[in-house]
Structure 1
């Protein structure tokens, strides 16, 4: 039985790797920041690029066959080869297909996820503060203890998602579909906008949900919703 040893004198942290340092057999650039970078023409087939920041980067001349892009972040400025679907690669960005994805405790602050499909996704504890979730489908998603402070959730379809202890403070929920959510136990909606036509519906939910104390935001769903109602009437 043989074992492989890592020579620490020759070791380079994956997050510091650049495409020009590509070394066979498997290129490891997990967590690297390649944002706004012209990657050029490189063979990245089978490369480990999970959690890589690819926002604004140009990979259009690269071979990405078999590359691991799970949790890599892209945006509308990211360029990939014509025959490569970054939306179906496990990466996170506009139009991403992430049904049932495990994103628990993921750092997704400020990420553009508009029109993405996250049905049944596991997002408990995820930080989506400032994220763009416009017209995103979150039906059946687990958003318990998720942070969505200041998130853009216009037209977001929450369906039967779980929102227990979620922090929506300052989020824009204009035309968001919240009628069928499984629970808002301890959810904080303080300073939210766009909830006018849904306030009464949310305030009619079970007292067990409305009056559950959120120790992090030091509020309850009822208190946060009533503050919006009072502000509307002022």
Structure 2
């Protein structure tokens, strides 16, 4: 059965831009639609198709976008405070200067998306896929990136202070001038990533020390071919023999066999640093 646009959406074609607050648009087929500047606060767009849609400057406070297809959508400068993006597809989407404070992006596909200069403070990006995405100059303060995949992610100039990166995967990440003050890196995989120009990264963080007087229960990140800032006396290849097993366990969709992960790690170790 073909989806029929609700009257209030059809009216937009003739210039009527009335509010769509609390509107139900579950599973709606809205690809390429222009909803720029629209107020969709508290609306339910779960499982909708918004591929290539224009939602620039839209108000989406508390909006439900779970399982929604937003591939190549434009959400630049959108207001997404407390929006729900659980398991949504935001690959190649543009969220430049959007406000996602406290938004839920659990298990969201963010591959190759543009998040430059967005606000993601206290947002939940646990188990999200940030592969190849641009998160430069993003305010991540107090955000959750537990088990997130940050392969070749651009985090240059990002504010990662007090961010939860527990068991996250960082491979080939750009981190120039990123602030890592208080970031939780325990059990994270740090592979072929240059930390030399980061800010406020400490030896204690790389030794798994969470509290200044902690004597037991240290769980450190796995470091392999990842240059560290001056003043940190840790071998940059300290954990290369453990990384493949961790990759295989944490990323089963990328590595079907342990041997594949082992081959990948060896390839990453060939990266030379100036």
TM category, shorter: 0.5 to 0.7
Whole-angstrom distance in 2 between the partners of 1:157 and 1:38: 32
Whole-angstrom distance in 1 between the partners of 2:201 and 2:41: 51
Whole-angstrom distance in 1 between the partners of 2:176 and 2:163: 17
Please tell me the root mean square deviation across aligned C-alpha atoms, in Å. 4.5
Size of the aligned set, in residue pairs, is 201
SS in 2 for 1:217: helix
Number of the residue aligned with 1:187: 188
1:22 Cα deviation after fit: 2.1
Q: Which of 88, 101, 104 is residue 103 of structure 2 equivalent to?
A: 101
SS in 2 for 1:197: coil
Task: Normalising by structure 2, report the TM-score.
Answer: 0.55
Is contact 1:157-1:176 (8 Å) kept? yes
Q: Aligned pair in 2 of structure 1 residues 23, 102: CA closer, same or farther (>3 Å)? A: same
Number of the residue aligned with 2:197: 197
Is contact 2:60-2:80 (8 Å) kept? no
In the alignment, is residue 177 of structure 1 matched against residue 179 of structure 2? yes
Which ranges in structure 2 are unaligned for 5 or more consecutive residues?
9-21, 86-94, 209-218, 223-238, 249-260
In the alignment, is residue 209 of structure 1 matched against residue 210 of structure 2? no
Which ranges in structure 1 are unaligned for 5 or more consecutive residues?
1-11, 80-84
In the alignment, is residue 28 of structure 1 matched against residue 25 of structure 2? yes
* 1:117-160 alpha-carbon deviations (Å, 9 max, x no partner): 11121221111112211111111111110011121111111000
**Which of structures 1 and 2 has the larger relative contact order (alpha carbons within 8 angstroms, sep 6+)?**
1
Task: Normalising by structure 1, report the TM-score.
Answer: 0.63
* 1:159-195 alpha-carbon deviations (Å, 9 max, x no partner): 001111111112211211113213x1221222335x2
